[in-house]
Amino acid sequence: MPDTHATVERPANAVAARAEAAYLGLALGDALGATVEFMTPREIQAQHGCHRTIRGGGWLKLKPGAVTDDTTMALALGNAILAAGDIDAHAIGEAFDAWMRAKPVDIGNTVRRGIIEFRRTGRLAAPPSEHDAGNGACMRVLPVALATLGQPEDAVRTACRVQAHLTHHNPLSDAGTETIALMIQDALQGADLDALVHQRLLPLIDAFPIFDPDGKREENPSGFIKDTLRAVFQALLDTDSFETCLIDVVNRGGDADTTGAIAGMLAGALYGPASLPEPWLASLDHGTRRACAIQSQALLAQACGNTTPTL
């Protein structure tokens, strides 16, 4: 086994193993996609052929295996949930503020604005805004999905919005973010892709048809939540493994680290730990790999303190 796991407790059961795979999936998708973020599919093809190796570079000039804000913000959120023992808006705001002060490699405009407002005024929720329909609240939602596993759907949705509204306060952002969290929870508990479609995707499309992944292939997905999630849903529906799903989504270019991160958390939860490609895991930054593994289990343990997730 790689040394990463030497002092990390092994997941206790299938739910725990899938939770770890979801967290590693987030980081793997971020690291894979960052290389081609903001490129077009044609540029990716010309430069990499089919991009399928975690090799760093990209516009951020990353080291191979390095992750970006998608993963580091999720880890900051997760640490705040663990420290507070709850989904506490103030604790999360403080954690985001500290995260920004530590100079992350990148940061979205809406995220920056929300954190600066929190810092200046202590504001815990941005006013509703049609401009806040970016993917920044969705990309970091995984720790909330883990910490609220087993809670009623309404409570899960509320928890998603508490973390989201610090920076993004928009009905499309909320709907997309809540749907991804609920899909992850269903997958952790053994739901297959078909069940995710029927239980979560179809109701989302009923409420917000703009998310419907049917139709034109989403290429160059922007940071707008509906573009991002349409690309993720298409990739998930067109493939049948973690690896093929992530390769499909990041080669669409655009906001590829974030489509990779969201597809990665979903596909990791859905296909489980054995589906994560070993060469990708070996390439992933070791500290990040370890942090994801540890935090996934700590958040589940916190969820179990409330109610017991079932297999």
Using CB under 5 A as the binding rule, whether residue 178 contacts Mn ion is answered as no
Task: By CB under 5 A, tell whether 69 contacts Mn ion.
Answer: yes
- In one-letter notation, the amino acid at residue 202 is L
Binding Mn ion (rule: CB under 5 A), the pick from 22, 23, 35, 70 is: 70
Site for Mn ion in 238-297 (CB under 5 A): 255, 257-258
**Which among 65-73, 77-85, 191-199, 228-236 is the span making contact with Mn ion, rule CB under 5 A?**
65-73
Q: Does 68 bind Mn ion (CB under 5 A)?
A: yes
Q: Tell me how far, at minimum, the Cβ of 177 lies from Mn ion, in Å.
A: 15
Nearest residue to Mn ion, using CB?
Answer: 68
Q: What string of DSSP letters covers 148-172?
A: TTTS-HHHHHHHHHHHHHTT---HH
Q: How far is the CB of 300 from Mn ion (least distance, A)?
A: 25
Q: Is 227 in the site for Mn ion (CB under 5 A)?
A: no
We find the least distance from the C-beta atom of residue 232 to Mn ion, in angstroms, to be: 12
Alpha-carbon distance 184 to 191, whole Å? 9
Q: Which of 255, 270, 279 is nearest to 139 (CA)?
A: 255
- Number of shown-chain residues binding Mn ion (CB under 5 A): 6
Nearest to Mn ion of 69, 186 (CB atom): 69
Q: Which residues contact Mn ion (rule: CB under 5 A)?
A: 68-70, 255, 257-258
